[in-house]
Structure 1
Amino acid sequence: MSPAISFFLASISIAAAVVLPRQDITLAVSPVCATLGGAPGDINVGLPPLSSFSTIVTFGDSYTDGGVHDGSALGAPVLDQPNPFAGGRYTNGPVWAEYLANVAGATLKDYAMRGAVVATGQWPSLTGTKSSDLLTQANTFISQAGPRPAADSTLYVLFFGIEDYVLSHDNGDSDLSNPAGNIAFTILRLASSPVFGKNFLIIDNHGRGTETTAGANFKAEVFQSLASLRDYGLNVGFVDLSTVWDGVLGSSPGYQAFGYTSTSACLASTTTTDGSCADPDHAFYWFPGAPTTATHKIISDYIQAVWKKCQGYSF
């Protein structure tokens, strides 16, 4: 074999071991706009443009946890390997709320905490644990001293249901009516003294591509509560991420349409980055069930699409 041919074949072998540039991850599905009082779906009733918000306050679980849980500034979203948590986040970079706040030009005040449910009292298995819940997160925000963010320019986001769904499934598909009711109750608390919030967004992804009767009923009850909240003069929105998850994990359009190379998790363990996949920028999950920062960007993109496409859908 000639030296030229040997060099050519060696070059091919080296190239095969290198991750070649791929397309960016892009949103490949569109919102499914709903009607207030109808079946659950994406909706924006009265919420002003994202650019009008100077503050975004978030409550949630690991999907929203920015590594700081008291509304203060988040740490840098960078990995310090082999630690797999980017600045304390349950992912390899910024979470969706950071992307959204950046687009809006808003300050992010994050109270979310990994493993949080809506109300720990619903689940006996959490008794005596340090598990967080929505009720506690809201109490932390409400009880803080200092000036309140202006009501007209503050968006409150509640992203719950994933951990409750898991516990419900583990307990024979137990009913989730109480968590659904507590989400509406918390919004009314935040709309009352001393906060007087006006703008509220609920995000749902309880089943992450799966469903049970209890889960479907939970989403329906939360969505139906929006009509009553609207009667109080509140501006409300609902983002149903099942459209994204079904689009990626199913065949229509499928993960490749988004630019993903796999739906598998990049890391098998939550303890180390050792054994990481070759191309986390094109992986759907970082840990099993936990999005990569690329997917968090897609969540933000989907929220923005709902904002634009599903405005003013009411009775």
Structure 2
Amino acid sequence: MKKQFVAAGFVLFSFMLPLKATAAQFGAMYVFGDSLSDTGNIFNVSTSVGQPYPQSSLYSTDFPGRFSNGQIWVDYLADQLQITQPTLVTDPKFPNQGVNFAFGGARAGFGNAVVQDPPGQHLPGVLEQVQGFAANNPKADPNALYTVWGGANDFIFPPNPNDPTPPADRISQALNTLVAVGAKNILVFNLPDLSKVPLFQGTAPQSVHDAVDNYNTTLKQTLDGLSNNPNLNIISVDTYSLFDQLSKSPDTFGFTNVANSCRVQTSQTTYEFCSNPNQYLFWDEVHPTTAAQKLIADTALAAIEAKSVPEPSTALGTLAIGAWGAAAVLKRKRKKLLVTTANRVPGGQSTRIKVES
């Protein structure tokens, strides 16, 4: 009876081993992007010249510098991964668990679409952020998580006349630059359908929708190519599908308004705010509320965890080990009755199971 329990234990153990690991424990987090990822860089720079942007009174007083009414996905994901919030590139504190290089208004390539460079300073685009990081980190931390999300400003605002290169190509250059310096774990976001943000109020030209589709298609091709490298962990976050689901089934996610912004400008200097921001998808004309930011972080975490699933052969091998344990006990029981039958099993063969990853 005892051996039967042992056999059952082997089988049970094989099923108890998780087929999906928890989120990887990254040593640090490096963030590159625009206002969707900025936790205070543009705020610090603009405050230093006496023109705070974004104004905390119009966004978050508890979490200043965020383009939302509270924490954004960077904050939430760092907490979920148990990583200390990445130090701002404009913060004099020594970075211990990563840096957030994102600037509100950053273009995919070079410069800023919203804020002019302060005297003696330059506000970098996403590619510039990555290039600056690479110049100072010729050997990137292979255990860190690198996140890249950009391109929206290139479609919402007039294009950069000095940079005719498509935004998707600039983001592709940024990704390849990270790979060149040794980044292994790269989290990349595509763009939601910008033609549906409150800024356009249903008046966006078809060209905006088409431009986002082309951007996402080109970005996917880049990610597919990088994913062929077995040494890279390329993690895609499909915000296009997420926001499409939120728009079509808002009740499922607790939203009652996915078309309008919670913050509404009533005159040149005055604003009104909705009383239930957690039920709104957008806080202002283009930026999600903190409730929606949490869903973005959850989607990113799910994408990370999905890449932690073992290869099918590994899972099958785990089950095989459990099955072998049960079979071994049965063989020992059978040996008592049919010794000659047991002797026909080649020595050592029954205990060698090759598991390939």
- TM-score for the superposition, normalised by structure 2: 0.59
Question: 2:141 corresponds to which residue?
Answer: 150
Native 8 Å contact 2:42 2:65 kept in 1:
no
Native 8 Å contact 2:106 2:153 kept in 1:
yes
Q: Does 1:160 align with 2:150?
A: yes
Distance apart, 1:208 and its partner CA: 3.5
Q: Does 1:110 align with 2:100?
A: yes
Size of the alignment, in residue pairs? Answer: 245
Q: 1:243 to 1:104 in 2, by over 3 A?
A: same
State the alpha-carbon separation in 1 of the partners of residues 174 and 106 from structure 2.
Answer: 15
Question: 1:64 corresponds to which residue?
Answer: 37
Partner SS, residue 69 of structure 2: coil
Distance apart, 1:311 and its partner CA: 6.3
After the TM superposition, which residues 114-193 of structure 1 pair with which residues of structure 2 at under 5 Å, given as runs?
A: 114-120=104-110, 132-144=124-136, 150-151=141-142, 153-167=143-157, 178-193=166-181
Distance apart, 1:277 and its partner CA: 1.0
Distance apart, 1:177 and its partner CA: 6.6
Q: Which has the larger radius of gyration?
A: 2
Match of 1:208 among 191, 194, 197: 194
Distance apart, 1:230 and its partner CA: 2.8
Q: 1:141 to 1:116 in 2, by over 3 A?
A: same
Distance apart, 1:104 and its partner CA: 0.6
State the alpha-carbon separation in 2 of the partners of residues 101 and 162 from structure 1.
Answer: 23
Distance apart, 1:150 and its partner CA: 2.9
| Identical-pair percentage | 26
Native 8 Å contact 2:140 2:183 kept in 1:
no
Distance apart, 1:106 and its partner CA: 1.6
Partner SS, residue 268 of structure 1: strand
State the alpha-carbon separation in 2 of the partners of residues 126 and 83 from structure 1.
Answer: 17
Q: What one-letter code is carried by the residue in structure 2 that aligns with 1:117?
A: R
Distance apart, 1:188 and its partner CA: 1.9
Partner SS, residue 54 of structure 1: coil
Match of 1:84 among 51, 59, 63: 59
Q: Which has the higher helix share?
A: 2
Q: What whole-Å deviation, never above 9, does each CA across 1:273-292 have from its counterpart, x for those lacking one?
A: 95211122222111112111
Q: Does 1:262 align with 2:252?
A: no
Q: 1:148 to 1:259 in 2, by over 3 A?
A: same
Q: 1:283 to 1:206 in 2, by over 3 A?
A: closer
Distance apart, 1:149 and its partner CA: 6.2
Distance apart, 1:310 and its partner CA: 6.4
Native 8 Å contact 1:115 1:132 kept in 2:
no
Q: What one-letter code is carried by the residue in structure 2 that aligns with 1:156?
A: Y
Q: 1:159 to 1:313 in 2, by over 3 A?
A: farther
- TM-score for the superposition, normalised by structure 1: 0.66
Q: What one-letter code is carried by the residue in structure 1 that aligns with 2:125?
A: D
State the alpha-carbon separation in 1 of the partners of residues 262 and 173 from structure 2.
Answer: 38
Question: 1:50 corresponds to which residue?
Answer: 23
Match of 1:224 among 207, 221, 226: 221
State the alpha-carbon separation in 1 of the partners of residues 228 and 164 from structure 2.
Answer: 24
Q: What one-letter code is carried by the residue in structure 1 that aligns with 2:278?
A: D
Distance apart, 1:245 and its partner CA: 1.2
Native 8 Å contact 1:165 1:206 kept in 2:
no
Q: What whole-Å deviation, never above 9, does each CA across 1:240-286 have from its counterpart, x for those lacking one?
A: 11222112223xx2x12211132221112499895211122222111
Q: What one-letter code is carried by the residue in structure 2 that aligns with 1:307?
A: I
State the alpha-carbon separation in 2 of the partners of residues 258 and 137 from structure 1.
Answer: 34
Question: 2:242 corresponds to which residue?
Answer: 244
Q: What whole-Å deviation, never above 9, does each CA across 1:196-251 have from its counterpart, x for those lacking one?
A: 1111111012423646333212111111112322344321021111222112223x
Q: What one-letter code is carried by the residue in structure 1 that aligns with 2:74?
A: A
Q: 1:119 to 1:126 in 2, by over 3 A?
A: farther
Query: Structure 1 regions of 5+ residues with no counterpart?
Result: 1-47, 71-78
State the alpha-carbon separation in 1 of the partners of residues 245 and 104 from structure 2.
Answer: 25
Partner SS, residue 65 of structure 1: coil
Distance apart, 1:192 and its partner CA: 2.2
Q: 1:229 to 1:269 in 2, by over 3 A?
A: same
Distance apart, 1:58 and its partner CA: 1.0
Q: 1:217 to 1:235 in 2, by over 3 A?
A: same
State the alpha-carbon separation in 2 of the partners of residues 115 and 102 from structure 1.
Answer: 25
Distance apart, 1:69 and its partner CA: 6.4
